[in-house]
Every structure is written in C-alpha cells, then in structure tokens.
Copies of this chain bind each other. A is one copy, B any other.
Amino acid sequence: MADDKRGPRERMVYSTAQLVRAQGPAATGVREVVEHSGAPRGSFQHYFPGGKDQLVGEALLWSGDFAARWVATYPRTTSRPTPGGLFAYMVKQWKDEFTARGYRRGCPVMAATADLAGGDSAVNEQLRAALERWERAVVDELVRMDIPRRRARRLATLMISALEGAIMSARVRRDVGPLTTVVAELSPVLNAAAER
C-alpha cells in the first residue's frame, strides 16, 4: 500500500477501516486511528468535525467502494466470464488475504453490523450504502452475463451472504476451508443460472 502518497485525511479513513476489520468499531478509538495512520495530532478534528461517527461512516463507504471496484475488475481477468467465476474471484481475495496475512482482519461491514446495526447508530446509513454499492457491482456484472436483473439481485444476495458467512467461519476456525467449500458448492448453481 502506497500509504505515503495519501494525505492525512485518506490515511485516517484507511486506518479506521483496517482497525474496524480487526476489532470492530466499538473497540476502535480516535486516538488509535490517529496513531495508526501517522496523521498529525490535532488534524483529526479538522478533517472529521463529526467525530468518530463521521470517521467510521467514511471508512465503511470506502470499504464498499473498494469491494465494488474489485468486483468490477473481474471481466479483465478472464475471456469467459461466468457467475461462478465471479464468485470464485470475490472469494479468492479473502483466501489470499488469510493465507498471506493470517486471520486478523475480517470484513468491515460485518464488524460494523455486529457492533452497531442493533442500535440507532449514526453510521447505519453508511453501512447500508456500503453494502448496497458492493451488491450493485455484483448485480451489474451478472447482468453483463445476460442474467435478468431481478434474478441477478437474488444471486448477488446469495453470493454476498455465503461469502460473508464463510469469512466468519474461516476466521473462527483459522482455516480457509469454508471459503473453498462455498465456492465448490455454489459455482455450479450460479453457472446454471446463466445457462437458462
């Protein structure tokens, strides 16, 4: 990561996303974010007058965009895009992360849901928007594969649900097995949807 090319604002948002992924938003404090990001002390208030809520909300939107961009790169990786291939590509990002860097960091959307979705947190709107941006990117790819949009929405929900749950199981077990399993079990089903 070319952290040094980012300004302090971007670094703080990025650091928040990474800390939230590892420990959830409840345990992530502003001071820890400032230290992790290497941003000048005192710059936090300047960039985030809305405080921790603003910071976490922007980290979630950043994460949703990051996930959406990853999904949009899929067609460049293959000459024969398929729904199963797309799902495997989404899952691969997580297998690579866990294999290379261990199980420390999970999905920020799941972390924010666990800590905040049960209450009336100010970031629930951004949480919803982050999930929607990611899901819309998946739907768009499926539609390009000639799957009707309505069906594509259902498959995107299934794909993201299975991926999120498998990320959870993989972290609990410290084993990428659940990620491998959901790809092997779902790919044929997803591909069958494209052949109708």
Contacts and interface: CB of A to CB of B under 8 A. Distances in A.
Interface of A: 21-24, 26-27, 103-106, 109-111, 113-115, 117-119, 124, 127-128, 131, 154-155, 157-158, 160-166, 168-169, 171-173, 177-178, 181-182, 184-186, 189
Given A127-B172, A157-B169, A157-B178, A24 B164 contact: no
B162 A158 contact: yes
Nearest to A173: B128
A114 B111 contact: yes
Given A26-B27, A181-B158, A172 B118 contact: no
Q: Chain A contact residues: over half helix, strand or loop, or mixed?
A: helix
Contact of A23 (B115, B124, B168, B181): B115
Contact of A113 (B155, B172, B184, B186): B172
Nearest to A179: B161
B24 A115 contact: yes
- Oligomeric state, in number of copies? 2
Given A110-B110, A155-B185, A189-B189, 15 more contacts: A23-B118, A24-B24, A104-B118, A106-B114, A110-B114, A110-B168, A113-B172, A154-B184, A157-B166, A157-B177, A157-B181, A158-B185, A161-B165, A161-B169, A163-B165
A171 B114 CA distance: 9
A168 B24 contact: no
Contacts of A111: 114-115
Nearest to A190: B185
A4 to B, nearest CB: 25
Nearest to A104: B118
Contact of A161 (B115, B154, B168): B168
Nearest to A127: B172
B158 A182 contact: yes
